[in-house]
A and B are shown apart, each in its own frame.
Chain A
């Protein structure tokens, strides 16, 4: 199975900060890498698909980059509603795997 890791596991940031979360795959997943946001008590929400494509309705402050094994999710200016846990997921393999998550909370 392809293993996914994320760093950091958690971070504290202030409104307006630029935040970057990284995701690494144990082998190349090409661009089959997707990002989700999950708030407490809610289902995950797709933010970015195919590494860098912004899902419809998602604010442009979110962006994704990378290919192969190393990826990043950047929030250009953190807003109060962005405090959540973020997960990456690979679909290069038909055995889908998620990263362990990165919790973003208020400093």
Chain B
């Protein structure tokens, strides 16, 4: 049973649309992360948060933004989607050294 939930699982959207990818966890973890991953490539950290009202950019530059208003919720927003944003987006949370990942959102921008 998953303790970290991502919705939607799949999303196909047109160029220029605004989208929000949802991520929620029920474990009470302070630390949450967003990764972007393409097939055959490493997971790239794009955003992270160490607690409410704390957000930081990761190693990979991203046009997305995040917010952390509640401990359990860490949504990612793209104001204007482009084909270059097509990828899998993985949300994770951590209460120690390991991560718990969500099932991911496969985003396709056409």
- A and B bind: no
